[in-house]
Structure 1
């Protein structure tokens, strides 16, 4: 997969350090690359050369990986396993993991700025990325998630957490691809699609947490350990599955409603995500 070599090349261009090793360790630990894949697939759906998305796809994966490194820290979810391997702070140490996350977050914007696209397009993409990953997006969701520990929360609050913590960074590649494709008239539709996919994905994670062992799923069940409400604990597993399927169906209908967009490949990919078991 091209994204793998691109990511390695970006990290290998950095000065040698323990932080660099930790960045590379976490970035190449076998993630699903959903965000880059979404960006590339939307570009192709608009008949745009997907290679123009390379720096943006890499930046998305860097920011996603930084968020996982910090999410796994003892001060957050205190997880030992990520993507089937020891978490960054377990493989290295806590301080190095913090620096690795910091490095991936900041380097992501340097990578985006290196794009050959016109400055207006790059600035719009930087704005999307920073908003979706920042204190009104993913970071806000993480804060809500931390505050929900050891509390009884309802489905409305859990949706709010998931829409920000997971949904924002799954929406970002769709919006960035929309901007890169010069189809800003579709931006609201892609926002709806992104947040439906994000919530569906997280509900699916909650279901898989129950149905699979940590070894099968590739990560430990920190929500149960940290006494957090999940879609399964709030709705029950049968209703959670119904909600998940409804959300994927909603995203599918919205994709199909877009004019001037060849949807077949994206619809197939959404179906693959819906069928995932890890």
Structure 2
């Protein structure tokens, strides 16, 4: 029985699984090296951690989390693919990711693109090649495709790159980030609901929590680009200003962004309060995950 209480334990479980299973499914040496380079470079693993924590809280620690790992970790493969492609010269042109040279800086553009392609397709393989019920696997696959594709993350990326240098309104920036960043974090909560066979009312509240958590994540990331350090962030800071990106500090200033972050986290906690009334979870089950947003 695996019952996890700390975010660190969740991260370690995900990291150990990723190191083992990617190798088992990849037989081309250079491709494997490039894929593992970015996946194993670190990362907070917040998406799979949120899913695992919700499953564990919902089942009150009475379900072995091991059976869910392959499907849960699929989102981390997909997330890493998106980072590799985001960092390419044609996109954000970043040299540093998670404190290391970006994938294309180490392997070249062509191999980096293919490493991202490999992770993207492997993510969907993992959603169906596991021990879960076929209907659950089907629902997860459909939901991740929607969240990551042209109605979700990819749409957000296009909105982002096509509006550099333009000033978007708050509503437009919210829409950009809800798709680009929030969609996969919402998916992490939807996946938990699907895997525990929750009803639609419960999944709706889980999704709302994921949306608010995702918005908080983006606001915090924008804020740290202004007041953080390269060492803390694992990537160059102040790039948003240099590239004329649409950010929350650009709209509200640093202090206004801190206030906006506080408001969104309050909404996330309200979602958890609603969820605690209709499921076995406790609001305090997510205190450590909400503590990520420390200024």
- Shorter-chain TM range is over 0.9
* Residue of 206, 210, 215 corresponding to 2:231: 215
User: Would the aligned equivalents of 2:219 and 2:248 in 1 still touch at CA under 8 Å?
Assistant: yes
Partner of 1:128: 143
Moved over 4 A (4+): none
Structure 1 stretches of 5 or more lacking a match? Answer: none
Partner of 1:268: 287
1:15 maps onto 2:27 in alignment: yes
Q: Cα deviation per residue 1:185-215 (whole Å; 9 max; x = unaligned)?
A: 3111112111111111101011111112223
User: Would the aligned equivalents of 1:35 and 1:60 in 2 still touch at CA under 8 Å?
Assistant: yes
Structure 2 stretches of 5 or more lacking a match? Answer: 1-11
Aligned equivalents of 1:249, 1:266: Cα separation in 2: 16
Partner of 1:237: 254
SS at match of 1:273: coil
CA gap of 1:245–1:22, structure 2 versus 1, over 3 A, is same
Cα RMSD of the aligned pairs, angstroms, is 1.3
> What is the correspondence of 1:143-162 to structure 2 with a 5 Å cutoff?
143-162=158-177
User: Would the aligned equivalents of 2:68 and 2:132 in 1 still touch at CA under 8 Å?
Assistant: no
User: Would the aligned equivalents of 2:272 and 2:283 in 1 still touch at CA under 8 Å?
Assistant: no
1:24 maps onto 2:16 in alignment: no
1:3 maps onto 2:6 in alignment: no
Q: Cα deviation per residue 1:75-129 (whole Å; 9 max; x = unaligned)?
A: 0000001011110001111001100000000001111111111111110011111
CA gap of 1:265–1:54, structure 2 versus 1, over 3 A, is farther
**Deviating more after overlay: 188-197 vs 265-274:** 265-274
> What is the correspondence of 1:48-197 to structure 2 with a 5 Å cutoff?
48-185=63-200, 186-197=202-213
Structure 1 residue 11, shift from structure 2 partner:
1.6
- What TM-score, normalized by structure 1, do the two folds share? 0.96
